[in-house]
Structure 1
Amino acid sequence: MEATLEKPKTQSKTRTIRRVAVLGSGIMGSRIAAHFANVGVDVLLLDIVPKEPNAAEQAKGLTTDSPLVRNRIVNDAFQTMLKASPASLYSPKFASRIKLGNFDDNLKEIATYDWIIEVVVERLDIKRSVYERIEQFRKPGTLITSNTSGIPMHLLTEGRSDDFRRNFCGTHFFNPPRYLRLLEIIPGPDTDPAVVDFLMNYGSLYLGKTTVLCKDTPGFIANRLGIQSLIQTIRVAEDMGLTVEEVDKLTGPVVGRPKSGTFRLSDVVGLDTTVNVAGNLSKMEHDESRASFDLPASVQKLMDNKWLGDKTGQGYYKKTKDATGKTEILALDLKTFEYKLSQKVKFATLEGTKAIDSLRKRFPVLLAGTDKAGEFYRRTFADGFQYATHRIPEISDELYRIDAAITAGFGWQLGLFETWDAIGVRKGVELIEAQGKKPAQWVYDMLDAGIDSFYRVENGKKQYYDIPSKSYKTIPGTEAFTILENLSQNVVWKNADASIYDLGDGILNVEFRSKMNTFGQGVSEALMKGIALAEKDFRGLVVGNDSTDAFSAGANLGMLFMFAVEQEFDEVNLMIAQFQNMIMRLRYSSVPVIVAPHTLTLGGGCEAVLHSDRAVAHAETYMGLVEVGVGLIPAGGGTKEMAARASDLYQSGDPELNILQNIFMNIATAKVSTSAQEARDMNYLRPTDQIVLNRSSLIAEAKQAAIELAENGYTQPKQRTDIKVQGKTGIALFKAGIVAMRMGNYISDHDVKIADKLAYVLCGGDLSSPQLVSEKYLLDLEREAFLSLSGEKKTLERIQSLLTGGKPLRN
């Protein structure tokens, strides 16, 4: 589902957000502060002063007058955030953008801040008391928002000044704020529409969020639909006698949802959190299905036992160790309430969809299943469909907002109405009626009018069915996005693994769609074809895709393994040479080539980025040269290019061997960046490369970069002959470190062999002194090293382990 970025409907004074004050440093507050720091904002993070020193502080003679005591709560929360995994900050150095303090000593400082975000405990009386204090110092016109997950806006602003109410709004981030894309915007009864417009725009453009405008109703949109789905799924599972593992398999990636499924998600979130939200929603008198929020028997029993999930060490799952100390995962038996070893799950319906890569094409098969899986899907999806229809116009006037909230908030690939379209609207109505229920009348009216889909694509833009006007309208704010699946009419060439799109304005796009977008023959063919077409009739090329899993997980190792096992080394050599030629064509084409990485960008995918004229990367890009993990070194120009980048950095003033050693360690340890910013710190992205916060904008921004380079007079570069390498001096340094690592048993003998080869190539071979070499010289060294390692038995064992079990082998 595309992000929602609504255009401002009213004019307002220009707001610039340079400084944000976050009040409340708990899990959400500290992580919201971190995300604002990620985007370059200075943050003030405050919390309460402890009532008295703790035992450790008393032992040091500290009192409540001591700054260490007064800031203990915020300091502890901040340290917890810094240590959390996955990381909340794009780079540890961004922590310096966050200033810590407490409400008593530092609240007066909010007078100089542009936006105040309240993230204190979910109690109306406490929030109101905080607002009372805020009004003493807040400058008129300053934004003030609450991260409440359910308290009505009109209750929060009771008794506040007119200026406070006009500039107040709900901004509901989802946890963790860096990774979950949803930001719900909930206006109060007196909120200035210009404030709403600003927040919708800022959330999408600067925070990278799917910003969804919500009505001030219980649970807003995402929690209302998501918790209803979770509770009803548990209820159906109990009724059908399904196991915890079976349900999580059925509600995971096979239906385009996170691996956690239903029960694992409950454990991660905390059952008490789910129960609290469900308890509030079950009290809604105007909801005809409020009984669906009543707790199923297993949930109530878990609550009684205080088995709340990860926070209590057990919930629907429990981790233990066997007699040998090996970790075991136990699953709760919903009938006996005893834990047993987690079992693998198989359903005939799921087996029948293994060859169906398209999620939309998978749903009709899943819902037609004749086993328990099929029945489970029919019951749960029918319930979800009908419930969503009855929430319009209560929680939203438009159906696309419901899909946007549920996909961005809970990580679903398709929303409820998108899923319904996949099986057909009439078929969905039949499913609902078969369960003895009915969708809202507007669905019947839609079908009677001859309209049989909730969405359609018109001129490359996605439109939704607008219920009041009974017509299709373009989803607001998506006009500027380029979504490849909406451009099927613009495909100019394709094969089984890739497509080439005409993006307009003289720019082509090569999209991969192999498994995990790995580089095999089909993808390589498409890239070479894309460059040829662009050079002939266009002015630029983008390499990008809309995959949710990976930009590219690297080379397809299957063919390499087959040739290496058969000792067909001439074929291996040819494969490497062809891949090198393709990567170098990206760098030395006569038109600008922009590569748009995101999520996993490994091995060959990283090498494609390294050889672009400019990378336009999503902030959540996990990039690395990881070939060492399978017993090889980067040989698609990756090692060569990092040697070249080291050479360029030698002018920085840092010792040359230190610079080279950092690059060596990143490759030798197969280090993967945890963000695009870290990829920049590792020199995989250059200072001139662009980092984009909103994933939906990625292809459009890459296209614009290609246009910019073309219009600025792009000229075809020449291959380099000025790369400074260290020769024997560098090799000696690395060999000393490698020997020390082996003596300490940190690496194996085979790791030593790989590291020696890597050092040899990075240093330009056995040269007597540092000197300048060409790219071709280093590419030849790369290929020779790769070829020799591919003949090693232990390398083949590593490749086989990855191909068969998906796990790297240490041997």
Structure 2
Amino acid sequence: MNIHKVAVIGAGVMGAGIAAHIANAGIPVLLLDIVPEGATDRSQIANTALAKLLKADPAPFMHKKNARLVTPGNIEDDLPQLADCDWIIEAIVERLAIKQDLYRKLAAVRKADAIISSNTSSIPLHELVAGLPEDFAAHFMITHFFNPPRYMRLLEIVTSEQTDQDAVEKISQFCDFKLGKGVVPCKDTPGFIANRIGIFWIQTAIQEAIDMGLTVEEADAVVGRPMGIPKTGVFGLSDLVGIDLMPHLMRSMNRSLPTDDPLREKATIPPLIQNMIDTGYTGRKGKGGFYRLNRDGGQKSKESIDLQTGEYSPSQPAKLDSVKAARDGGLQALIAHPDKGGQYAWRVLSQTLRYAAALVPEIADDICAVNTAMKLGYNWKFGPFELIDQLGADDFAQRLEADGQDVPPLLTMAREHGFYRHNENETLYLQPDGTYLPLQRPPGVLLLADLKRHAEPLLENDAASLWDIGDGIACLEFHSKMNSLDPLILEMIEETVEFIPHHHKALVIYNEGSNFSAGANLGLLMFAAKLGGWDEVDKMVSGGQQAYKTLKYAPFPVIGAPFGMALGGGCEILLHCDALQAHAETYVGLVETGVGLIPGWGGCKEMLHRWSTNPRMPRGPLPPVLKCFEIISVATVAKSAFEAKDYLFLRHTDGITMNRDRLLADAKARALSMVEGYQPPEPPVFHLPGATAHVAMEMAVNDFRAQGKATPYDAVVAQALASVLSGGDTDMTDTLSENDLLALEYAQFTQLVRKPETLARVGHMLETGKPLRN
């Protein structure tokens, strides 16, 4: 891809974030900004930005060491260094004259084939390059990142007829493979794709909520999960991004929107919101927003604003029958319901989806680009045209007509067959000319969702399924709530290990949920405990140990492909795989101590084995034991796949995939590479220090208690963990087997789970999603 060095000019929030994420890809970055007047440090702005990046939460860097790849500088002194940069990204103030002045300076120092791009979201490409040299324009494009650049997957690319296609391909490939972006080509139109539709949606949802007299909680409950939109809904999202951002976006959009565009009608900022901005209620970055935390009396209580009066009162959960109906009946049930929630849902959806349908092919060549942009840029689960298909394209058009709204030409074409057609072996999508084309993924992209439309599972139960993903590789998919691990999944693991040798070569463990796995099913554990079903609890512990051990010694390669959260039992299953191909955004850890337990499905013994055989570990029996105690006792969670290697949750030989859509294909390739000559691992043996280690760990816990960093029950749980990691009643002359360590885990786990303090922690986690410090 030939991108070896990058420069980012503009060290504001976006520019600095872009620089950090390019460093995440292992690429050196030059970060430049102006020289502040009278500053002794001429690169003060860029230096300050880098310091802020290292302190920011969520972290812009996937690993702190990546910061070493960012070199701060300033435009006056360091512009000549751009001569060896392959890509120069401009992220300065949104003023055309200032941008063009910078471009003239860049034209004088850049190397001949260097690509220049702007992160602008409000100035058209043709205005940016007007009057600039032809060769400069040929290597210029807009690359619009979304904030924060590390976490938001959308990258909109805008080009012109002048733009060199090799340059476009080079940047597209680099952003796809190295930055993990979903690259969406856009036309040179106002707001491109995501913000054009997203701003319309936000403005519509807010204005309709005000007009209909809804509370912010009611509006967010409707324009949220029932529509496949994050639970922040529209008011929570506005608080998150900043309420004062919308007037700025609207002003910039109005500069170039067509005179008859429906978005112009949404441009007015309601008096209530203007007053909020004027008084500093700009959202989470200000004094509060549509929601705020009241800290009077030393207590924190959530409040929300009355959209009619502007007064705050304690936040009340929405109670709408339409939202309840949507849980079983989906989107159709939501908009069909007669209550105010159903009416509100229709008003927002009808206008937003109609607007999206009217914009193709003006803003994009096809519906796929629009769907992808909204899913990756606004975290919608479904794109606009997928939502219309859920409602039924003809039913949607009929209701628009009944309301007196025009039906866009593209929607008229979709009335008979919908926007997507699913045949036996392929999915087709509607083109603006009325024809249907096969949906084709880029090379190296393999999605389980595509396979599932045209195939039946090899094995399945209510919590897991086994799929054939081609070339002799099978895929084990979890699909329980939050992909939590329960007896049905454990049974499926055993069945899978028995099934595969007769039909396939290797196994990939992967799914396409929001997270790989939240761990063991605590709700099931709590239910059994309340009924006194301790035999069932014990059986679940031993069943998990046996299933994971069976998986580890299967006569074929097993590859884990995690992403998002992989916690507790979800981490333990990964520790038993032959290799991992992890998405870069994998947050993995053994978190059982947070609910008053210890890892019980082999996590302790696998971590002990990894650290005992780690060449970086100081020699002697004690250091690996203490390292494992340090990691597990405080429920350490790695905040990226790169960081997970520091804790040995991932081996240094495990692979990392930046683009989520490429994860399954990469894992499959890893599995195929291990088939020939595969032999299961040799069972480990342990020589553990016993009482010596136990005393050392006990002293560490006592120190934490004395410092107020550990609660009394933290100490109880830590003692149980120490009993396992030390090897129990043993010394260095004894040899312990894998089964001996599993027996220690089982004994301590089953004792802790019976304690009231542990059950209180489990119950609190289930109720609030937060740990209880008892």
**TM-score between the two structures when normalised by the length of structure 1:** 0.92
Q: Which amino acid aligns with 1:343?
A: Q
The reply to whether residue 408 of structure 1 matches residue 394 of structure 2 is no
For 1:526-550, what per-residue CA distance to the aligned partner results, in whole angstroms no more than 9, with x for missing partners?
22222221122111111110012x2
Q: Which amino acid aligns with 1:371?
A: D
**Does the 8 Å contact 1:185/1:199 carry over to 2?**
no
**Does the 8 Å contact 2:360/2:410 carry over to 1?**
no
- State the alpha-carbon separation in 2 of the partners of residues 807 and 322 from structure 1: 23
- 5 Å-filtered alignment, 1:647-666, equals 647-649=612-614, 652-653=617-618, 657-666=622-631
Please state how far the C-alpha of 1:732 moved relative to its aligned partner: 2.0
- 5 Å-filtered alignment, 1:358-369, equals 362-369=330-337
- State the alpha-carbon separation in 1 of the partners of residues 138 and 381 from structure 2: 36
Q: What's the counterpart of residue 540 of structure 1?
A: 506
Query: Bigger shift: 558-567 or 93-102?
Result: 558-567
Corresponding residue SS for 1:40: coil
Please state how far the C-alpha of 1:424 moved relative to its aligned partner: 0.9
Q: What's the counterpart of residue 136 of structure 2?
A: 164
The reply to whether residue 420 of structure 1 matches residue 388 of structure 2 is yes
Q: What's the counterpart of residue 206 of structure 1?
A: 178
The reply to whether residue 371 of structure 1 matches residue 344 of structure 2 is no
- State the alpha-carbon separation in 1 of the partners of residues 502 and 442 from structure 2: 34
The reply to whether residue 738 of structure 1 matches residue 710 of structure 2 is no
The reply to whether residue 716 of structure 1 matches residue 686 of structure 2 is no
Please state how far the C-alpha of 1:478 moved relative to its aligned partner: 6.5
Q: What's the counterpart of residue 754 of structure 1?
A: 717
Relative distance call for 1:653 and 1:547 in structure 2 (3 A) is: same
Please state how far the C-alpha of 1:300 moved relative to its aligned partner: 3.6
The reply to whether residue 310 of structure 1 matches residue 284 of structure 2 is yes
Q: Which amino acid aligns with 1:713?
A: G
Relative distance call for 1:750 and 1:238 in structure 2 (3 A) is: same
Please state how far the C-alpha of 1:479 moved relative to its aligned partner: 7.1
Please state how far the C-alpha of 1:768 moved relative to its aligned partner: 3.0
Please state how far the C-alpha of 1:661 moved relative to its aligned partner: 2.5
Please state how far the C-alpha of 1:660 moved relative to its aligned partner: 3.3
**Does the 8 Å contact 2:451/2:469 carry over to 1?**
no
**Does the 8 Å contact 1:169/1:185 carry over to 2?**
yes
Relative distance call for 1:461 and 1:775 in structure 2 (3 A) is: farther
**Does the 8 Å contact 2:611/2:627 carry over to 1?**
no
- State the alpha-carbon separation in 2 of the partners of residues 169 and 461 from structure 1: 34
Relative distance call for 1:542 and 1:459 in structure 2 (3 A) is: farther
Q: What's the counterpart of residue 769 of structure 1?
A: 732
Please state how far the C-alpha of 1:413 moved relative to its aligned partner: 0.7
Please state how far the C-alpha of 1:805 moved relative to its aligned partner: 3.6
Relative distance call for 1:71 and 1:567 in structure 2 (3 A) is: same
- State the alpha-carbon separation in 1 of the partners of residues 441 and 502 from structure 2: 36
The reply to whether residue 39 of structure 1 matches residue 25 of structure 2 is yes
Corresponding residue SS for 1:18: coil
Corresponding residue SS for 1:504: coil
**Does the 8 Å contact 2:144/2:155 carry over to 1?**
yes
Q: What's the counterpart of residue 551 of structure 1?
A: 516
Pick aligned residue for 2:218 from 246, 249, 253: 246
Q: Which amino acid aligns with 1:776?
A: N
**Does the 8 Å contact 1:729/1:770 carry over to 2?**
no
Relative distance call for 1:306 and 1:669 in structure 2 (3 A) is: closer
Corresponding residue SS for 1:311: coil
- State the alpha-carbon separation in 1 of the partners of residues 460 and 162 from structure 2: 53
Please state how far the C-alpha of 1:622 moved relative to its aligned partner: 0.9
Q: What's the counterpart of residue 138 of structure 1?
A: 110
Structure 1: gaps (5+ residues): 1-14, 54-63
- State the alpha-carbon separation in 2 of the partners of residues 456 and 734 from structure 1: 61
- State the alpha-carbon separation in 2 of the partners of residues 742 and 122 from structure 1: 53
The reply to whether residue 644 of structure 1 matches residue 609 of structure 2 is yes
Q: Which amino acid aligns with 2:614?
A: L
The reply to whether residue 700 of structure 1 matches residue 700 of structure 2 is no
Q: Which amino acid aligns with 2:9?
A: L
Relative distance call for 1:475 and 1:504 in structure 2 (3 A) is: closer
- 5 Å-filtered alignment, 1:156-195, equals 156-195=128-167
For 1:428-471, what per-residue CA distance to the aligned partner results, in whole angstroms no more than 9, with x for missing partners?
11232233212212322343xx4x22123456654321122512
Relative distance call for 1:337 and 1:558 in structure 2 (3 A) is: closer
Pick aligned residue for 1:292 from 231, 255, 265: 265
- State the alpha-carbon separation in 1 of the partners of residues 444 and 394 from structure 2: 29
- State the alpha-carbon separation in 2 of the partners of residues 770 and 86 from structure 1: 47
RMSD of aligned alpha carbons: 1.9
Q: What's the counterpart of residue 407 of structure 2?
A: 439
Please state how far the C-alpha of 1:139 moved relative to its aligned partner: 0.7
Q: What's the counterpart of residue 783 of structure 1?
A: 746
**Does the 8 Å contact 2:247/2:269 carry over to 1?**
no
Pick aligned residue for 1:796 from 759, 770, 774: 759
For 1:201-236, what per-residue CA distance to the aligned partner results, in whole angstroms no more than 9, with x for missing partners?
222121111100000111111100000100011111
- State the alpha-carbon separation in 1 of the partners of residues 518 and 187 from structure 2: 41
Q: Which amino acid aligns with 1:25?
A: A
**TM-score between the two structures when normalised by the length of structure 2:** 0.96
Relative distance call for 1:482 and 1:290 in structure 2 (3 A) is: closer
Q: Which amino acid aligns with 1:546?
A: E
Pick aligned residue for 2:245 from 273, 279, 282: 273
Equivalent residue pairs, number: 771
**Does the 8 Å contact 2:6/2:85 carry over to 1?**
yes
**Does the 8 Å contact 2:388/2:396 carry over to 1?**
yes
Q: What's the counterpart of residue 56 of structure 1?
A: none
- State the alpha-carbon separation in 2 of the partners of residues 461 and 673 from structure 1: 39
Pick aligned residue for 1:577 from 519, 542, 546: 542
**Does the 8 Å contact 2:621/2:688 carry over to 1?**
no
Relative distance call for 1:184 and 1:770 in structure 2 (3 A) is: farther
Pick aligned residue for 2:570 from 594, 601, 605: 605
- Identity %, equivalent residues: 38
Q: What's the counterpart of residue 56 of structure 2?
A: 84
Please state how far the C-alpha of 1:176 moved relative to its aligned partner: 0.3
Please state how far the C-alpha of 1:739 moved relative to its aligned partner: 1.4
